Structure formats: structure tokens, C-alpha cells
């Protein structure tokens, strides 16, 4: 079966967030999918298969880290849609509707310039106390904090330089009661983005515990910054070493995430 590696939320190879994309023709055993994801070693690998007789969806989509199946993954969804368009599985410009196990039906569209837009449920963070030890783990002063239903902490720092220069103690971050920590700040004036972020999740991510570009985190970041900036359309820059731009639009209880992607590997999975 066909397997691709796609760099999402970028227009150049070896930037953005890489995802494996496995194009299935029929249902696969979850244990096998988990082993494939462990072999790929990306933060997430997406498994896509066509579904027949479903009025609401065209494909089933599931996401696996090397360790577990996850409920939602933005960059791997973008990568899956890019793979379907780029391989000719779906005609250019035709919307793709993905049926997921826990996040409902997700729709991805493609515009004439090739920009992909994903309609995701918003996941706003409610104000919360700063957990004990978090500022020390981050090595930075936290100005505001919130927590969402995914048990992600969203914490604001004083400025863009604080986010970019963050050098967290990942062992201490892993001791915080949270799936992940979204660190954010308003962007400096004059740039091509409105806010910056980083996503630290040493409990669930392999390697150094930092995700390069996180679509699901922007489901919390978009409503947070929409309220503070008084705008419903913005651009976020995730300031990881690879980096990536995510355009966001708040639409009630939904968030539209937009970006581009590039294929860096296209081959056959033989196991």
C-alpha cells in the first residue's frame, strides 16, 4: 500500500511538521496501525481509507503516535488531505470529508492556490490557576493560564522573544498535570503573524517532547487570541526549530485552520 511522508504547515521540505500518511484500501487492524506508526516514528501517522455508503463522509481517518491512538491531529489531517489531492485520489478543489472516531466529520477544502483549509471544533481554554512548578519548569514568567477539555494548558508569556527563547526543563514539564502545554504570546509588530506559540508535550510525544507545528493547539489558540485582539481571522507562527505558519479563522464553535504542505517521500509499505 502507498505510504507518504508529508511536511505540513509549510511550503518547503524539512520544515513544518512531518506526518506519515498511509493510504489504505480497506479496514486495517488497529494493532497493525500502531506498529506502523511506531516504525514511522513521526509524532503522528494518519491512516486513510475510503468509505462507501456514508452520506456524510468520503474517507475514514485515524491518527496514531508511536505509542497511542489520538482523538485529533491537525497536521496529520492536513497531510492526509494533501496526499489525497497530490496522488490524484481526490480531484483538485473537491472537498474531502473525513469520518473520525472521536472528533466527528472533519472537512478539508482546497483553493485555487493549493491552500488547504480544515474545519475543526474549537477547543477554548477556560481561565485556570497557574500550576505549581510550571513557571520554574518553563524558566519564564507566566502572565495568564487556562485549561481546555483536552487537558492542555494554555499559558501566555510577556512577549514573542520569551516564547522563541524558551528553554524548558522537559522532565519538570512532564510532571505537570496536563497532556501538553501551549506556550504563547502576542507577536512583535511588523511581522507576518499575529501570535506565536510552542507546544510542549513530553508525556505523549517521542524525542524531545516538543511538537513542530500543532493544528489541534490552534483550536485553543484561535479563540484565545480572537478575544484579545478583537479579530476572528489571524495567522499564528509556531516557533519550534522547524517552524510553521497556521492561518486561523474563528467561526462560532468551529475553527478553520489553513496552510500548505509538501510531500518529501512517496513509496510502498510492504509489511
**Active-site residues: which are they?**
44
How large is the C-alpha radius of gyration of the chain?
Answer: 18
Bridge partners, residue 113, by sequence: none
Using the 8-state DSSP alphabet, how is residue 252 labeled?
T
**Distance of alpha carbon 256 from alpha carbon 245, whole angstroms:** 14
- Cα 112 → chain centroid: 23
**Distance of alpha carbon 65 from alpha carbon 58, whole angstroms:** 23
Q: Which of 75, 72, 74 is nearest to 8 (CA)?
A: 75
**Distance of alpha carbon 181 from alpha carbon 93, whole angstroms:** 35
**Distance of alpha carbon 144 from alpha carbon 185, whole angstroms:** 10
Q: Which three cell numbers stand for residue 255?
A: 475553527
- Cα 121 → chain centroid: 13
| Cβ–Cβ under 8 Å, residues 60 and 23 | no
Three-state SS for 142? Answer: coil
CB-hemisphere CA count at 13 Å for 140?
A: 24
| Cβ–Cβ under 8 Å, residues 171 and 9 | no
Output phi, psi for 80, to 5 deg.
Answer: -65, -45
Strands 261-268 and 244-251: unpaired
Amino acid at each position: 500500500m502507498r505510504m507518504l511522508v508529508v511536511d505540513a504547515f509549510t511550503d518547503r521540505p524539512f520544515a513544518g511538521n512531518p506526518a506519515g500518511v498511509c493510504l489504505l484500501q480497506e479496514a486495517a487492524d488497529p494493532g497493525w496501525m500502531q506498529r506502523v506508526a511506531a516504525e514511522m516514528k513521526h509524532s503522528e501517522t494518519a491512516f486513510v481509507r475510503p468509505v462507501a455508503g456514508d452520506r456524510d463522509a468520503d474517507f475514514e481517518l485515524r491518527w496514531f503516535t508511536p505509542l497511542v491512538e489520538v482523538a485529533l491531529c491537525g497536521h496529520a489531517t492536513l497531510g492526509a488531505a494533501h496526499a489525497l489531492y497530490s496522488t490524484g485520489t481526490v480531484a483538485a478543489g473537491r472537498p474531502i470529508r473525513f469520518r473520525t472516531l472521536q472528533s466527528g466529520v472533519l472537512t478539508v477544502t482546497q483553493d485555487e492556490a493549493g491552500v488547504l483549509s480544515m474545519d475543526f471544533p474549537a477547543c477554548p481554554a477556560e481561565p485556570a490557576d497557574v500550576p505549581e512548578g510550571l513557571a520554574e519548569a518553563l524558566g519564564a514568567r507566566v502572565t495568564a493560564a487556562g485549561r481546555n477539555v483536552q487537558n492542555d494548558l494554555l499559558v501566555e508569556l510577556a512577549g514573542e522573544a520569551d516564547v522563541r527563547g524558551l528553554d524548558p526543563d522537559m522532565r519538570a514539564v512532564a510532571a505537570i498535570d496536563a497532556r501538553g502545554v501551549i506556550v504563547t504570546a502576542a507577536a512583535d509588530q511588523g511581522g507576518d503573524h499575529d501570535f506565536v506559540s510552542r507546544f510542549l508535550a513530553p508525556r505523549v510525544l517521542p524525542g524531545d517532547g516538543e511538537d513542530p507545528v500543532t493544528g489541534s493547539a490552534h483550536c485553543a489558540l484561535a479563540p484565545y487570541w480572537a478575544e484579545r485582539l478583537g479579530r476572528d481571522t489571524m495567522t499564528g507562527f509556531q516557533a519550534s526549530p522547524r517552524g510553521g505558519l497556521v492561518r486561523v479563522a474563528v467561526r462560532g464553535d468551529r475553527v478553520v485552520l489553513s496552510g500548505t504542505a509538501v510531500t518529501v517521500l512517496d513509496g510502498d509499505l510492504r509489511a
